[in-house]
Amino acid sequence: MTSGKKTAIVTGISSGIGFAIAQAYLARGLNVVGCARTPERLRAAQKLGGPGRFAFLAGDISKPVTARALFRHAIDCFGAVDILINNAELFIAKPIVDYSGEELESMVDADLRGFFYPSQQAARHMSARGRGHIVNVTASLAAQASARAPAALASLMIGGIDHATRSLALELAPHHVNVNAVVPRGYDTPDAGSLHRAASEGTRETIREIVDAVLDLTDTDSMTGKVIPVGGLLADAA
């Protein structure tokens, strides 16, 4: 199966922001390749439809073998990858003294390795083609601390991705690969805000704004290295 249309890979596709981004790209006629951790989580994503333009892969995106398989699957299905949306993340907000070692490892896997390995594959593939877009979906608490939601570990992980976005944008600029980040504000968690579960109108509006920002970034080749806050108000600072 091949196509002349653009192809987007979206990680964390089974709910919330990832589901909405994939839905929007399919509505625009793009090919979409989605990734979620388990086949069970991908069953929800299959509701996206898009016969002939939607492919998916179950696997742990924090593993390099999964990232390689995801890009290989996308290329086999559609010929090339034009867009990578790094959306898979695990957000645990609690006082630093309450984090367990298991939670630390889980966040390192989801937030750091889950960003690094797909981005590495995208950088290699897109640089060779001389074009492409990488968009990272992060979180506002990395930039604006809140006394109501202690999240030092989350800030360490996600804030690092915001800075890595700028660095990677400089690295890939000579190859005409754009790298940006969208920072959702006023959005709880992917599962709590899922478009295919009960969600408040405010949450749905925030997701729409996030999706619009992602689409705007991948529609233009003139913006790179930007970390763009989107959605509701920032939490009160500590």
Residue type, 79: G
In this predicted structure, the answer to whether residue 2 has a pLDDT above a threshold of 80 is no
Q: What angle do CA 21, 29, 208 make, to 5 degrees?
A: 25
Buried b (16+ CB within 10 A) or exposed e, 83-96: bbbbbbbbbbbeee
Tokens at residue 17, please?
């922001």
- The predicted-structure confidence for 92-151, as pLDDT tens digits, reads as follows 888 899 999 999 999 999 999 999 999 999 999 999 999 999 999 998 766 666 777 787
- Mean pLDDT value of segment 63-90: 96
Over the chain, what is the mean pLDDT?
Answer: 85
Q: How confident is the model at residue 35 (pLDDT cuts 50, 70, 90)?
A: very high
In this predicted structure, the answer to whether residue 196 has a pLDDT above a threshold of 50 is no
Beta bridge partners of 229: 183
Identify the residue with better confidence: 211 or 94: 211
In this predicted structure, the answer to whether residue 1 has a pLDDT above a threshold of 50 is no
Nearest one of 120, 14, 97 to 57, comparing CA atoms: 14
Got the DSSP string for the chain? ---SS-EEEEESTTSHHHHHHHHHHHHTT-EEEEEESSHHHHHHHGGG--TTTEEEEES-TTSHHHHHHHHHHHHHHHS---EEEE---------GGG--HHHHHHHIIIIIIHHHHHHHHHHHHHHHHT-EEEEEE--GGGTS--TTS--HHHHHHHHHHHHHHHHHHHHHGGGTEEEEEEEEES---TTTT-TTS---HHHHHHHHHHHHHHHHHHH-SS--S-EEEEESPPPPP-
Q: How confident is the model at residue 30 (pLDDT cuts 50, 70, 90)?
A: very high
Tokens at residue 210, please?
């996030």
In this predicted structure, the answer to whether residue 206 has a pLDDT above a threshold of 90 is no
Q: Top-level CATH class of 7-228?
A: alpha beta
Range from 23-37, 41-55, 95-109, 168-182 that averages highest in pLDDT: 168-182
Q: For residues 181 and 162, is the Cβ–Cβ distance under 8 A?
A: yes
Quick one: pLDDT at residue 204? 78
Nearest one of 76, 71, 17, 22 to 49, comparing CA atoms: 22
Q: Where are the domains of the chain?
A: 7-228
- Mean pLDDT value of segment 27-49: 79
- Mean pLDDT value of segment 183-192: 58
Quick one: pLDDT at residue 202? 62
Tokens at residue 141, please?
């608490």
Quick one: pLDDT at residue 151? 78
- The predicted-structure confidence for 152-181, as pLDDT tens digits, reads as follows 888 888 889 999 999 999 999 999 999 999
Q: How confident is the model at residue 189 (pLDDT cuts 50, 70, 90)?
A: very low
- Mean pLDDT value of segment 40-69: 82
| Start-to-end Cα distance in the chain | 53
